[in-house]
Amino acid sequence: MTLGRACRIVVTAALTVLIGSGGAGAAATGWEPHPQAARTFTGGSAGWTASVTQTGGGLTCSGLLHVPGVTCPAVSNGWQADGGDGSLRASLSTAVGLLATTTVDWTSPSFTLAARPDVAAFGLALRGSGGSLIDLGGASVAADLVDLGSGGGGGGGAGAALLAETAVAPSAGFNVYGGPVAPAALTAGHTYAVRVRMRFRTPLGVAVRGALELDDVALQLTDLDPPTGLTASVSADTVGVRVGGSVDPHGQATTVTVDYGPTSAYGASTSVALGGSGAQPFSLQLAGLRPATAYRYRVSAVSPDGTVATADAGFVSPAEAASDGAPMLVGSSASRQRIAVFDLDAAVTQALVEVRDASGAALLDSFPDADLDGSATIALPAAGGTYRVRVVRTRAGAGGPIASPFVDAVLDAADAAAPDVSATLVIVAPWSSARRARTVTVLGAPNDVVSRQLQVVDAADGPLGAPVALGTDGSATVTLPDRAGSYRVRATFRDAAGNASVARSLPAVLTGPVAPTGDPPPTGTSADPPPAPDPSSPSSPSSPSSPTPIADPSAGALPIGARTTYPLKVAVPCAIRPGSSVRPARRDGLCPGRVVVGRIAAPRRTVGGVRVQLRAARSSVIGGSESLRFTLAQRGRARLKRIEWKLGARSLRAPSLRAAQLRADGGEQTLSVRLVPRRGRAVTLRTTFRTRAV
């Protein structure tokens, strides 16, 4: 196969990296099987072997009447050269066909995994040679990873499914098949081989013939980097004592924790979750400090791939804490969105952050600290300029609200930096259907924007129909044109300075006949079959709407050469953490997930002398062995006698909710916690939140 018509599987690998790691930064990527010739078949079969199994057809394929090429297909397997490149070809022919099935298994050279990858993807390129598959009753392809055990000695088990059995239609060019692979199915130290299974079904007829050609078979294995570049320092002012710094998460979910206390044994801690690539700032306020006291602290950053920590260091807390001080604002001068951080004492019952004009006289907007955690996210007006921000505290038994001094918030509308969409993913579901109405979900959208619009576009990026506003929950419904074809959805994000950035979806296919518009089917449940490859369709090899591939570093970047025929599935691996023994129900090798819509409130109460706060610890996507976990923080000398958890009316054994227990339609659900003290009345805390499927 020549470079001009190459249809590299790295397109599938690129999709997998985006879904699995949110656009991860630094990473080490390897390709199997090795060497490169065992993936591209340049110059020969490179150690691949073929085996043939034939069944059915009465006695014609297994008994006395078995005459290859006459009553049962004659099979020919081998490598063929093609313009300097090559491919593996399986062909069959027979004079008479009697409802038989011929299976050709191509098996790669074996290879050993040194370590389990964080992200994995598989793909291959296939075509029905010269359209000859038209003579067959049907042809399909499937692939799996054969586990040869530790050291290749056998007994390792069934391995992992790489590609579910997929029908293959006649095609003049190579088509790409593949998708993500669950890393939890791979075992470090085991030896594997890739097996590609071609299946031909022979109908009743005469002069039956057909062939399949296989090329560019590769398993992409990516190991993401642990956090690096961790810095930390202590600052103190009227807001309180904070530890701030930055760390590079390298695209992985990373938790930054500050441990602090009067000695190096610490005893108290506070954390924040980060993501993205490059230096990500953090600022954590330390609570419960005594005035003019020496403390020790250490900062650590933990991701699924490792931990980095600072050395033990010390500081002395301020001599006097000012609980009515001004807030501290965190955020870029080019962003309307800022985080206001301020001090709260135990008597504060309400805190409101006010945004006023440059004189401080006119109130423009206000933002409550609903969970009284000493922080609130605020939004400045769209116009650039200087604004005054303060926090107004209300205390139990006090005469009235107390306003803090102002701090200035400068919005630089002339800043030339456009919104960052490097980690933004635009998903259209279902990806292939006869229905015009589709659900669009945007993951990783930038926050510092004033406008978020979706637009259906054609292959040349020309707009079709009116734009649609993206909802605050990150989803919206768009309507494709009333003619079959391939389209994309373009998401445009514009900041307060007028700068715009664009992210595009993968092609969404509208098959015919076109169904009427209406509510789209739920994401991930469409029963529409994938479209048959058609060189004349808008997503044919010459279409500029094909996605940009990630290049195999050993071969260089190659252009897209055929339609991508895999469905887009947004899910999470069935085992998030290496070594996890949790294996929830799968769908095509992946586990369904949930995403929390909006913010989960953190109610707090005092029960029998115990100060209690309910908090949710979660990542953006919940699924597989990862759960939505709630923690109950208790402060005071006394302890509770009993704690009872419920989700709705259903009792829970533990405050940990799996994806299957959470709603998939964005509806509300309530978690309630009944707190029974040793003395006094029981109290119930409730928090209501929404989740939807991804």
pLDDT at 574: 45
pLDDT at 417: 67
- Residue environment code for 387-400, b if the CB has 16+ CB neighbours within 10 A, otherwise e: bbbbbbbebeeeee
pLDDT range class, residue 19, cuts 50, 70, 90 = very low
- For residues 248 and 280, what is the distance between their CA atoms, to the nearest angstrom? 6
Among 31-40, 118-127, 133-142, 382-391, whose mean pLDDT is lowest? 133-142
pLDDT range class, residue 180, cuts 50, 70, 90 = confident
- For residues 386 and 156, what is the distance between their CA atoms, to the nearest angstrom? 66
- For residues 640 and 14, what is the distance between their CA atoms, to the nearest angstrom? 50
pLDDT at 665: 80
Looking up tokens 């010739």, which residue turns up?
37
Using the predicted structure, report yes or no on whether residue 496 has a pLDDT greater than 80: no
pLDDT range class, residue 238, cuts 50, 70, 90 = low
For the ranges 273-277, 385-389, 544-548, 568-572, the maximum mean pLDDT occurs at 385-389
Among 254-258, 302-306, 594-598, whose mean pLDDT is lowest? 594-598
- For residues 438 and 677, what is the distance between their CA atoms, to the nearest angstrom? 51
Mean pLDDT to the nearest integer, 317-324 = 66
Using the predicted structure, report yes or no on whether residue 212 has a pLDDT greater than 80: yes
Determine the 3-state secondary structure of 617 from DSSP.
strand
Statement: the pTM of the whole predicted model exceeds 0.85: no
**Which residues face 428 on adjacent strands?**
440
For residue 544, cis peptide bond before it (omega within 30 degrees of 0): no
- Residue environment code for 482-512, b if the CB has 16+ CB neighbours within 10 A, otherwise e: eebbbbbbbbbbbbbbebebebbbbbbbbbe
Give the length of the chain. Answer: 694
pLDDT range class, residue 247, cuts 50, 70, 90 = very high
pLDDT at 525: 35
Query: Mind listing the pLDDT tens digit for each residue in 414-430?
Result: 555 678 888 788 888 88
Return the structure tokens found at 447.
């926050």
Q: Where exactly are the structural domains of the chain?
A: 3-224, 228-411, 425-515, 593-693
What is the CATH number that goes with domain 228-411?
2.60.40.10
Phi and psi (nearest 5°) for 20?
-75, -30
Using the predicted structure, report yes or no on whether residue 231 has a pLDDT greater than 90: yes
* Reported CATH class of domain 425-515: mainly beta
* Architecture of the 3-224 domain: Sandwich (2.60)
Mean pLDDT to the nearest integer, 358-378 = 90
What is the CATH number that goes with domain 593-693?
2.60.40
pLDDT at 304: 78
Query: Mind listing the pLDDT tens digit for each residue in 540-595?
Result: 333 333 333 322 322 222 222 223 333 333 344 443 343 444 444 444 444 567 77
* Residues 6 or more apart whose Cβ sits within 8 Å of residue 6: 85, 125, 174, 216, 558, 559, 561
Using the predicted structure, report yes or no on whether residue 120 has a pLDDT greater than 80: yes
Query: Mind listing the pLDDT tens digit for each residue in 590-611?
Result: 456 777 777 788 888 888 778 8
Using the predicted structure, report yes or no on whether residue 668 has a pLDDT greater than 80: yes
Measuring CA to CA, how many Å separate 50 from each of 44, 92, 163, 197? 14, 14, 18, 10
Mean pLDDT to the nearest integer, 256-283 = 90
- The full 3-state SS of 113-144, as one line of letters, equals CCCCCCEEEEEEEEEEHHHHHHHCCEEEEEEE
CB-CB contact of 140 with 168 (8 Å)? yes
pLDDT at 8: 42
Return the structure tokens found at 189.
């130290």
Select the more confidently predicted residue: 416 or 74. 74
CB-CB contact of 693 with 594 (8 Å)? yes
Amino acid 397 reads G
Domains 228-411 and 593-693 share a fold: yes
pLDDT at 481: 92
